[in-house]
Amino acid sequence: MRIAILAVLLASAMVGAMGSVPAQAQTPPAQAAAPAANDYTDAANWLCRPGRTDPCAADETATIVRADGSESVENWRADPDAPVDCFYVYPTVSIEPTPNSDMIPGPGELRVVQGQVARFASKCRVYAPMYRQVTLAALAAFMSGRPVAADRALAYDDVRDAWKEYLAHDNHGRGVVLIGHSQGSLVLTALIQNEIEGKPVEKQIVSAILAGTSLQVPAGKDVGGDFKHMPLCRAAAQTGCVVTFASFRANVPPPSDSRFGKGHAAGMAAACVNPAALAGGKGELKAYLPSDRVGLSPQAPVEWVKGMKNPATPFVTPPGLLSGECVSDAHGSYLAVTVNAERADPRTDDIIGDIVLGGQVQANWGLHLIDMNLVMGNLLDLVDTQSKAWLAANKH
């Protein structure tokens, strides 16, 4: 039974192969009544909101594990007076058996915010709506060749309605960082296209972080494609721009059947922005990785320091262990992640985060499970700099 559950959970990245959210939505049978819109004035329809104890008030304490094996605890706290907001849309995590999820937070929704967005509360006020996403069960059915009628437009409509409610009653002219991963990135891509680009609210976008997706740009260009004039971020103080990437091990590049990294039409490419080196080249990845297992992955935890018990904190940050570089080659465009192993030192020589099914690493998924963890520290630094630049430009 556990293996079957794992197979469903680890199918989450398939949403990247299913097209844009509103344009190709699979709809329920014509005779079915349209689902009622959610009321986002009801706080129960938000997974996270500022100023309350909810899943985003998670323990983000980390242990710094250095190459020499020494360790120290890095404490963390949210900033209740953060000067900008973050609007987060979570990836495919619902284990509901139906094609679309309900609005009750399950274990997937409760867990994902700790690894992907709670740490941002040190830089921004976090808003994360619940939405009736396409579930892991629906994606597993798609993979097996027996697709079910999942309503992807419903997922988009929910997030759009939450966004409008947030703007009307919570934003008050503040800058906003949009954050998404996988299905969440696809939904936010559509939101930017339909509700933000070319509209007055565009000037409030500090940046958009769209991880674990294949955002389309003309090959060799930073603007065009999925977005008409919102460019890729190439400098830390640049605002109104996009950070996007899909991560793969440098020594296991995307295969021909990769779910990410591909252009979808002639002359188009998947955009890649390295949060550790925006202008290009290689940079150190400031990762915040789970100290034990990655979710329900069957991969055994690494031994962070050889012969030592793993840290008790939820996260480990290993300075100097990982580096990344955006690569464009015959395999596609992707963030190539290198583990800088030193066998002579006591620290681990590898990380976990691959999707493994039936004992086999699924190379076409890359490191999708830990896309956000790999660059979390880099993204926090970037949001801090971008927020200050946005505030200065807007005289807040």
- pLDDT tens readout for residues 361-396: 999 999 999 999 999 999 999 999 999 999 999 985
Could you tell me the pTM of the whole model?
0.92
Token digits of residue 11: 């199918």
Spatial CB neighbours of 84, under 8 Å, sequence gap ≥ 6: 123, 124, 125, 174, 175, 176, 177, 206, 383, 387, 390, 391
* Dist CA 343 CA 231 (whole Å): 41
The size of the chain, in residues, is 396
Give me the residue label for tokens 């696809």. 186
Q: Kindly state the tokens that stand for 198.
A: 């070319």
pLDDT of residue 396: 58
- The confidence score (pLDDT) of residue 21 equals 36
Q: Are strands 315-317 and 322-329 parallel, antiparallel or unpaired?
A: unpaired
Residue 112 CB contacts under 8 Å (≥ 6 apart), including other chains:
90, 91, 93
Residues of the chain where predicted confidence (pLDDT) is lower than 50: 1-30
The residue type of 15 is V
Tell me how far apart the alpha carbons of residues 327 and 18 are, in angstroms, rounded to a whole number: 24
What pLDDT score was predicted for residue 186? 98
> What pLDDT score does 19 carry?
33
DSSP category for residue 231:
P
Alpha helices in the chain (DSSP H): 2-9, 107-116, 136-143, 152-166, 183-191, 371-374, 376-393
pLDDT at residue 365 in the model? 95
Distance CA 161, CA 149 (A): 22
Predicted local distance difference test score (pLDDT) of residue 124: 98
